[in-house]
A and B are shown apart, each in its own frame.
Chain A
Amino acid sequence: MMTGLLAALAGQAAPGTTSTTQPSCQVLPSGAVNGFCTNAKSLHIPIQYRFIMPELILIGGALIILTISALLPKRSRRGFWMLLTVVTGLAAFAWSAWLWHPFIWQPAHALQPALVVGNALVLDRYTVFFALLISSAVVLSALVADGYLRREGLDGPEFYVLALFSASGAMIMAAANDLIVVFLGLEILSIALYIMAAYHRRRAESGEASMKYFILGAFSSAIFLYGVALCYGATGTTRLSEIALFLAQNHVPKSILLAGVVLVIVGLGFKVAAVPFHTWTPDVYQGSPTPATAFMAAVAKAGGFAALIRVLIGAFATMSVDWRPVIWVLAALTLLVGSVLAIVQTDVKRMLAYSSISHAGYVLIGLQAASAAGTAGALFYLFSYVFMVIGSFAIVSVVSGKGEARNDLGGFRGLAQRRPGLALTLTILLLSQAGVPFTTGFLAKFYVVQAAVGQHQYVLAVLAMLAAAVAAFFYLRVAIFMYTPPPAPDEADGQATGSGTGGLAVLGGLALAAPPETTTVVIPSAVTIALTICLAFTVGFGIWPTPLIDLARHATLFF
């Protein structure tokens, strides 16, 4: 099995080369390994399958889909692959929910994280939190993808298989207790994503997106690895828990270590699209097939942040004086560049790409607070973000029509007349992204800004809220377009005459003279289900956020 391989790899990478003390090494019945093991080959590492089951379910589901697709005739039933993926995702979700109770993996009630698979992975509520988040994202993306793929004539098992593999990579990143395992998760996540970006074979932009993503992604992976090497050089281990222990007990010359940490931040910063490592984002988000974009925006960001938070808060917590300013600058830049550049976009997918950049800035605010509240805020933000962003992209994928012909703002014009429910849903999701009260988006912003103020970071807090005001501009712009009737030759009352073109031109000097063809927007039922979930989540937890806040807080108890 894949994870077994992973563990073996990780087992060889870390312990074999250490030169520090403690030659003895014992494997406890629970699977945790005590001491530094010098002889990895003689070591029998028990694998606690039930603890890594969410990852295994995703990978297993992917393999099952591949097998079935080889056996079934070419033309299969509509939505069959989607259904299998949804079932797989739900199974992973259910298993993760079961794992949430710590007594399952720590019968002694000691609220300690459990190290599993020979210390390569760690099971704590943080891991489980991301397993829940990522499996939700898988289910939602699959629901969104089905209609799109069939409309574009791309239906087949491959997309779902890639999504499942990719999601398992993100889960491994969240669970990793070793920088090498983080890297493996990162690669599993990314390589599948490169292919998903190129999935729309007949669209040139899709191939271009994939190529850009691949080349820049490869660079960032290399940078990350280089950072890992430097960290290893400074501390003698790649195990996160051991790095934390080592840094707490020893005085380390900082130069190499700092360089290592910075490179790790750069590598992961690329995945989460933090400025200045964001340049790929608009092109890739715009070019990729919309469901792939939704998946990428949700899962890649979640995975990247899962690893970034785990590494910085978990392993390098003692160095927070050093990395907090770095994250501060990244957060400020990400917020400003993301919101400001989104203003000038006329392509909705591109605009959402910039908006997702600025969302990363808010999560970074939570991270840079380096406090319990900050980390919990970051997790709360990510969970809310996943539902907002997948919902938004789902609507874009529906509205854009065959061949993604109408991704520009003009395509949304008059949507409220044709599809009032859809327009209202998108409005609510966008308002949530803008941070309007009674949505999760507002509480998420409130949570991270509250954490920043709790650490006396007033400037960053004000910057964040001002960026939200700037961001409101482009979210509302989409809303305006949806509620502006398509230009008809005779507008009924004098009140509205001229407002359409004149007023909208102010918004971005767009060439909207050509009225969009009034094609009907078809909403597949799977997308309706996904949107209902996203909307219920966004508004429901926006009004009664306590369960979600508790989830985020408990997930960060172990740091």
Chain B
Amino acid sequence: MNFPILTTLIFLPAAGALAVALVPTTREDIAKAVAFVVAVAEAAFAAFMLVDFKAGEAGFQFVSRQNWIPNFVISWHLGVDGISLFLVLLTAGIFPIAMAGPKIHGQPKQFLAWMLLLEAACIGTFLALDLFVFFIMFELTLVPMYFLISGWGYTNRVYAALKFFIFTLAGSAFLLVGILAVVFLTAPNGHLSFDLIDVARRTSQLTQTEQRLIFLGFIIAFAVKTPLFPLHTWLPDAHTEAPTAGSVILAAVLLKLGTYGMLRFGVFLFPKAAVDLGPILLTAAVIGMTYGAIVAAMQKDLKRLIAYSSVAHLGFIVLGIFAFTSQGLSGGVLQMVNHGLSTGALFLLVGMIYERRHTRQIAELHGLQKSVPIMAAVFLFVMMSSVGLPGLNGFVGEFLTLIGTFITHRWWAVVGSTGVILAAVYLLWAYQRVFHGVPTGDNATMLDMTLREKAMMAPLIVGIVFLGVYPKPVLDRIQPSVDHLVAHVIHVDPSLHIPAKGVGPVVAVGPADDVDSPAVTGAAASATGVAP
């Protein structure tokens, strides 16, 4: 394990970006080949990491630590645990698909260079165990994404890109000041430390007000990124205007930076404040779920519809996180991966439709099932995963999340459950309008999926089915870290340990042997039961 695999995971795409940028403009084929090879190699490295990853261990693995800026006591500290493992895998897996799949309009060299840089920054964000490193990686994701949207997006791209950039940057202002505040306030005798583990040990020294204020600062930044209900307005614009690959990455990876940050930096560093202010976030999440679903149902633009569905789905994840139960958190983490697969796939499909018809207006699309049966089937499949059909991945995550929430925050779970129904409403309705009926005009002559498009959808579909049918290996790796986090929260706030009434043997939080609680196995079992 001496090989610094995590550092490699960050620097490989960064070096790839540089290499692609240095390829002469006239040799686009070389640029494409280099970029794809780098992205695939990155995925291979991530897969190696998964193989070496020890299931059942809660702590960070493959930890690598180097002094970076000794003046500020900043170190290059990386590590991966069950919470970040699958996010890293998702990132490494979806980037080659997003890069190779959709057609790039103009200047593929620059496009691919930005994509690789974005991948490096995203992976870095998931791996960082130093607050400073996390912050710079979190910030760095903005630049490539900004250029991807403004350079290769649709009509209103400049506006959308700026809105995205400035919303997130304004949120980050609070994050940076929050990070500095916690680092300075917890420094005994001026011994600063930006190290996540050190800071987490020290935060209990802070007063309640300090904890809450700093937690809020963190949460503002993450809520913008997630996006949580009142701060979500940049998302539909950014999604709609971004090029297909950009939308895929935005949905699959970038939004997870927010929820991951809430979990790793919000809850882990300020468990007390997180418990105290949890209900506010749960409420925002539930509002976002219902509001996002209702607004999605009313959209005329297919891409915008999926963008609003993201707002609703991300609400699920936030709900799971702030339920503070083992099931809820596991469900939340799993749902991050699920959403990445399903929504990423949906954006790819919408991109394919746009390539053929040059419109995303639902009203102009009609009866596509006749002309493109394979695409319709794939769309239906992915959509069902997004709706949460048992047997596909969405169900496992949503089920765990709702169970976990029900234990500690019953009424939020009750309202949140409507989100599942509403998801069926807007997605099925959209499917009906776009794919059913008799095709007319251009809709009738539309071409079906090419081999290349099928190849890029295949891994996503495999992932969707696998996670839906047999999530155990994944949950086995997520669970210990999640339990560890919950134990950390309980340790700080024992009052949270309230066994819910009438939930039978399911306890709010179990120690490590309680991992195979009925909820988890139940979910897995029921999922297996209805596998297609």
Contacts and interface: CB of A to CB of B under 8 A. Distances in A.
A502 B177 CA distance: 37
A503 B159 contact: yes
Contact of B155 (A461, A466, A502): A502
Contacts, number: 112
Interface string A433-445: 0001110001000
B174 interface: yes
Contact of A473 (B25, B137, B153, B162): B162
B372 to A, nearest CB: 20
B172 interface: yes
B143 A436 contact: yes
B53 interface: no
B239 interface: no
A431 B176 CA distance: 18
B146 A506 contact: no
Contact of A461 (B69, B139, B177): B177
A446 B135 CA distance: 11
B180 A461 contact: yes
A464 B176 CA distance: 11
Contact of A495 (B105, B142, B170): B105
A546 B70 CA distance: 7
Interface stretch (A22-30, A44-52, A447-455, A524-532): A447-455
Given A503-B155, A503-B156, A507-B158, A437 B140 contact: yes
Contacts of A473: 162, 166
Contacts of B155: 497-499, 502-503
A499 B158 contact: yes
B72 A493 contact: no
Contact of A465 (B152, B156, B177, B358): B177
- Interface of chain A, main secondary structure: helix
A462 B173 contact: yes
A472 interface: yes
A164 B62 CA distance: 55
Contacts of A499: 153-158
B379 interface: no
Interface string B127-146: 00000000111011011001
Contacts of B153: 495, 499
B158 A449 contact: no
A35 B156 CA distance: 72
A327 interface: no
Interface in A455-501: 458, 461-462, 464-466, 468-470, 472-473, 476-477, 479-480, 483, 492-499
B105 A496 contact: yes
Interface residues of A, number: 45
A479 B142 CA distance: 14
Nearest to A376: B71
B177 A506 contact: no
Interface string B57-79: 00000000000011110000000
A476 B177 contact: no
Contacts of A453: 177, 180-181, 184
A506 B159 contact: yes
Nearest to A380: B71
Nearest to B71: A549
B151 interface: yes
A468 B184 contact: no
Given A449-B180, A503-B156, A546-B71, A437 B139 contact: yes
B158 A438 contact: no
Contacts of B106: 492-493, 496
B259 interface: no
A472 B159 CA distance: 14
B23 interface: no
Given A436-B140, A453-B184, A506 B169 contact: no
A105 to B, nearest CB: 25
Interface string B164-190: 011001101110110011001000000
A436 B139 contact: yes
Interface residues of B, number: 42
A472 B142 CA distance: 11
A458 B177 contact: yes
Nearest to B14: A438
A480 B184 CA distance: 38
Interface string B464-486: 00000000000000000000000
A446 B176 contact: yes
B399 interface: no
Contacts of A480: 150, 158, 161
B147 interface: yes
B105 A466 contact: no
A115 to B, nearest CB: 29
A479 B105 CA distance: 19
A553 interface: yes
Contacts of A479: 147
A322 interface: no
Nearest to B152: A495
Contacts of B181: 453, 458
A449 B176 CA distance: 9
Contacts of B156: 499, 502-503, 506
A495 B165 contact: no
Contacts of B136: 437-438, 442
Most buried by A among B71, B140, B154: B71
Nearest to B138: A437
Nearest to B187: A454
A434 B308 CA distance: 31
A504 interface: yes
B71 A550 contact: yes
Nearest to A470: B166
A553 B159 contact: no
A468 B174 CA distance: 12
Contacts of A54: none
Contacts of B147: 479, 483
A545 interface: yes
Nearest to A436: B143
Nearest to A460: B177
Most buried by B among A431, A470, A476, A496: A476
A420 B22 CA distance: 12
Nearest to A454: B184
A434 B251 CA distance: 26
B182 to A, nearest CB: 10
Nearest to B177: A461
Nearest to A466: B173
Contacts of B165: 472, 476
A476 B158 CA distance: 10
B177 A503 contact: no
Interface string A506-519: 11000000000000
A134 to B, nearest CB: 24
Given A453-B181, A499-B157, A465 B172 contact: yes
Contact of B150 (A483, A493, A545): A483
B71 A553 contact: yes
B113 to A, nearest CB: 10
Contacts of B143: 431, 436
Interface of B: 25, 69-72, 105-106, 135-137, 139-140, 142-143, 146-147, 150-159, 161-162, 165-166, 169-170, 172-174, 176-177, 180-181, 184, 243, 358
27 contacts: A420-B25, A436-B139, A436-B142, A437-B140, A442-B139, A453-B180, A453-B184, A454-B184, A468-B173, A469-B166, A473-B162, A483-B147, A483-B151, A492-B106, A493-B105, A495-B105, A497-B155, A499-B154, A502-B155, A503-B155, A503-B156, A507-B158, A545-B69, A546-B70, A546-B71, A549-B69, A549-B72
Q: Which 6 A-B pairs have the closest CB atoms?
A: A465-B173, A437-B136, A503-B158, A469-B169, A453-B180, A469-B170
Given A437-B135, A461-B176, 6 more contacts: A437-B137, A477-B162, A492-B106, A502-B155, A502-B156, A503-B156
Interface of A: 420, 431, 436-438, 442, 446, 449-450, 453-454, 458, 461-462, 464-466, 468-470, 472-473, 476-477, 479-480, 483, 492-499, 502-504, 506-507, 545-546, 549-550, 553
